[in-house]
Structures are given as structure tokens and as C-alpha cells.
Homo-oligomer: A and B are copies of this chain.
């Protein structure tokens, strides 16, 4: 399955130190299942938004959608609850070694992060720098400050190293972001 504007696939780097081999989305979904099964948190990816145009209703079988289109998401992809707190985040993979371009995040997703922050959410971005095989958590407030400053059209890897928080990998929790959330947001 492919999504519009995204035919990138995550290629495992030749590093023996890493076991990461799936996409960031798959890693987060696996981690979320671990969190759910172990009563740590309830966090889900939202379904891909679709505009349905035509549906067939064949007798004795399931309704079949025969014409539909991808729709721009008005929110981030993930939300849920952890330690009584509303959690909201977007996850992105970045192939560049030097920077993450703002154009990779839609402006209404930034607006959404700002909206939920105003109401007390724990909001962030998970960024996978595929060239370095590293995942980072960036606080939405830090990201939005830099985004709104109008200084640049991307965030540099140096900025990410300075302002982001590295997320650990383990087999059961390939993107163990809540461990970072707990520490960074002092929960």
C-alpha cells in the first residue's frame, strides 16, 4: 500500500548495532500494542482519512469501496491517554543527513499541535533520522517556537541533537517514546 506523496520505504542501514528494520509507523504501532497489553497507555494511530465516492453492495458479501481518494489529515496521526494525560503527536521519517524540512509537516498539523497544547496536552513530534538510524522526540512547543520564528525553512540536525531527546530501541518497544515523555514532561 502506498500513500500520496510518500513512496519512501525505510531501508535498514548496515549497522550491526541496530535491530530496527521496520518503518517508523510499524515500530510505533508495535510499541503502542505493548503499551496497551501491559496497561501502560492507550494510544492509537488514527485511520488514514479518505473521501469515499462509490460503494458497491454485492449480495451476500461485504460492501466494496470502488472509488475513493486520500484526504489531507486535519490532525496529527496519533493520540491517546498516558498517566491520565492527553497525548498527541505526529511521526515523521527524514532521509536527509543535514536537516528536516518544515514542508514535511502540513501547516494544519502544526496548528493542531498548537490547539491541543493550549488545552494542556502533552504534544510532540517523533522524528526518525533514517541516515543515522536514530529516533528523536521533539517537544511541540520547541518545534512551534522555531517554526514560527521564521528564521529557517527546516530544522538542522545540529538543532535536533541539541533540542531533541533520543528515543531508545528495544525488541518489544522498538520506539519506546513514553519513557522519554515521562522524563521530559516530568510525569
Q: A interface vs B, CB < 8 Å?
A: 1-4, 36, 39, 41-42, 44, 46-50, 52, 55, 57, 62-71, 74-75, 79-88, 112, 115-116, 118-121
Contact = CB atoms under 8 A, between A and B. Distances in A.
A119 B44 CA distance: 14
Contacts of A79: 79-80
Given A4-B63, A42-B119, A50-B65, 16 more contacts: A2-B57, A2-B63, A42-B121, A44-B74, A47-B50, A50-B50, A63-B70, A64-B68, A65-B68, A66-B67, A79-B80, A82-B119, A83-B119, A83-B120, A84-B119, A86-B87
Contacts of A55: 1-2
Nearest to A112: B42
A52 B47 CA distance: 11
Nearest to A56: B67
B119 A41 contact: yes
Q: List the 5 shortest-distance A-B pairs measured between CB atoms, nearest first.
A: A84-B120, A65-B68, A86-B86, A47-B49, A81-B86
- Tallying the copies of this chain within the complex gives 2
B74 A65 contact: no
Given A62-B70, A86-B85, A118 B49 contact: no
8 contacts: A4-B62, A42-B119, A47-B48, A64-B68, A65-B65, A65-B67, A65-B70, A85-B86
A90 to B, nearest CB: 14
Contacts of A87: 86
A52 B119 contact: no
Nearest to A1: B52
Contacts of A1: 52, 55
A67 to B, nearest CB: 7
Contacts of A81: 86, 88, 116, 119-121
